[in-house]
A and B are shown apart, each in its own frame.
Chain A
Amino acid sequence: MVAVDHEIVEYLVRRAKEGDKEAFSKIVRMMMKDVVATTYRMTQDRESAFDLAQETFISAWQNLSGFRQESKFESWLYRIASNKTLNFLKRRSHGQTSSIDSIPLSSMALGSNSHNPETPLHQKELQNVILNFMAGLPPQQRLVFDLRFYKGRTFEEIAQITDKALGTVKTHYRQAIIKLRAFAKQRGWRQ
């Protein structure tokens, strides 16, 4: 995870709220990689991940005046990203866009990496495996797993981001880990 200095972010957010577009651009640059990483793992598709990240930041700019700085800006941003991504997945599962289930997982992950030729082959394979695993999780579990495991968010923060009860969030995570263990067993990781 990219280390983000919260004081700098707070300062930039204050400036951006006053209409400073440059300050907002700096925030975008600081947080873009992390947001894309989440939207990518959630959607399994790099182009959709880029689009969702863009929509997230534009929406953040439009609604910045409503952000009261009582919570962390990152949590607020992830809340926007999560809502957009979950809506996207819902639309996709209803057939408005291509269904994730209709895409062979192996080709999906490798194909999505074609945009990033700098990624070494072993990393591509690892990405492929992780995307395979995450594709097997329902969207809410996938999101909780992502925010907890990859983003290191506390369950309280995740509950705030996803607007779910703390117990529900923990249950989602536990279920995701049970599936992960089954997935690992299937691949012979536990031997």
Chain B
Amino acid sequence: MTCSHFQEQMLVYFGQKQLPTDLQEHLAECTTCQAAWKELSNLGDRLGENDLFHPNDAQVDRLVSKISSTIEEMEQDKKHYVLWVRRVWHTYVPTAAAAALVLGIAIGKYMTGGTAPDSRVTEMAASKTDISGLYEEGDQELDEDAVITLIDDFTTQHSSDASEWLLDDLTEEELKYLEKSFDVGDLL
């Protein structure tokens, strides 16, 4: 080991009482490095001990008590939070679960194709009734304004498919009558 290597390595061991064996071996033989190590060790003695920076007992007491009360407050807050969660759990969660279940069943039925055709049929049936209601007793002609209003309402409720459903709903006879009496393109 060279002196420069020792003197570079000794910096890492500053503050330590024992050097590694290879450094010790060099130190035992080299007076230059002995002087350098001694100087460094004396420097360490000048820096004092860790307890030089310790707070006194009264300060420690104050800090410990502050920390304890903060922890106590935190624990109280945690307890309140747990109680709140429990209350919410018991009150709202069953309601939400029931709602989710109903919604789930409805979506399930819709996805498997159970509900939509039924409702379409229902709507169509209802529209048929409405159209039948447009004939006044003993009157063979349809009221034009009433038909337009009916189609508008139906379209608003059922989007673009509505006109097709409505046409499906009409009998051949009613359709012919409409084609003859109105501009069907404008109506739809």
**B182 is an interface residue with CB less than 8 A from chain A:** no
Closest to A133 in B: B47
**B174 is an interface residue with CB less than 8 A from chain A:** no
Give CA–CA (A152, B8) in the complex, Å: 20
Contact A37 B12, beta carbon cutoff 8 Å: no
Min distance, Cβ B66 to any Cβ of chain A, angstroms: 6
Quick one: which of A134-148 are within 8 Å of B by CB? 148
Give CA–CA (A32, B62) in the complex, Å: 11
**Count of chain A residues with a beta carbon within 8 Å of a chain B beta carbon:** 45
**B51 is an interface residue with CB less than 8 A from chain A:** yes
Contact A37 B53, beta carbon cutoff 8 Å: yes
Give CA–CA (A32, B67) in the complex, Å: 11
Contact B11 A28, beta carbon cutoff 8 Å: no
**A130 is an interface residue with CB less than 8 A from chain B:** yes
Contact A177 B63, beta carbon cutoff 8 Å: no
**Residues in B whose Cβ lies below 8 Å from that of A130:** 47-48, 52
Contact A28 B55, beta carbon cutoff 8 Å: no
Contact A180 B43, beta carbon cutoff 8 Å: yes
**B70 is an interface residue with CB less than 8 A from chain A:** yes
**B88 is an interface residue with CB less than 8 A from chain A:** no
**A149 is an interface residue with CB less than 8 A from chain B:** yes
Closest to A189 in B: B46
**Residues in B whose Cβ lies below 8 Å from that of A29:** 60, 64
**Residues in A whose Cβ lies below 8 Å from that of B46:** 184, 189
Contact B43 A189, beta carbon cutoff 8 Å: yes
Which listed segment binds B: A49-57, A66-74, A91-99?
A: A49-57
Partner of B68, one of A21, A53, A150: A21
Give CA–CA (A102, B33) in the complex, Å: 40
Give CA–CA (A133, B72) in the complex, Å: 40
Give CA–CA (A50, B62) in the complex, Å: 10
Give CA–CA (A124, B144) in the complex, Å: 105
Closest to A56 in B: B67
Indicate whether A173 sits within 8 Å of B63 (C-beta atoms), given known contacts A36-B53, A149-B44: no
Partner of B15, one of A62, A148, A189: A148
Contact B63 A54, beta carbon cutoff 8 Å: yes
Interface residues of B (CB under 8 A from A): 8, 11-12, 14-15, 39-40, 42-44, 46-56, 59-60, 63-64, 66-68, 70-72, 74-75
CB<8 Å pairs between A and B, sample of 25:
A28-B63, A32-B60, A32-B63, A33-B55, A33-B60, A34-B50, A36-B55, A37-B51, A37-B52, A37-B54, A41-B53, A50-B63, A53-B63, A54-B67, A126-B48, A127-B52, A149-B14, A149-B44, A151-B50, A152-B15, A174-B11, A177-B11, A178-B11, A181-B43, A184-B46
Q: A25-B67, A150-B50, A189-B43 are in contact. List 18 more A-B contacts (CB 8 A).
A: A21-B75, A28-B67, A29-B64, A34-B50, A36-B54, A36-B60, A36-B63, A37-B52, A40-B53, A58-B70, A58-B71, A61-B71, A123-B48, A126-B52, A149-B15, A150-B53, A155-B12, A184-B46
Interface residues of A (CB under 8 A from B): 1-2, 21, 24-25, 28-29, 32-34, 36-37, 40-41, 46, 50, 53-54, 57-58, 61-62, 115-116, 118, 123, 126-127, 130, 148-152, 155, 170, 173-174, 177-178, 180-181, 184, 189-190
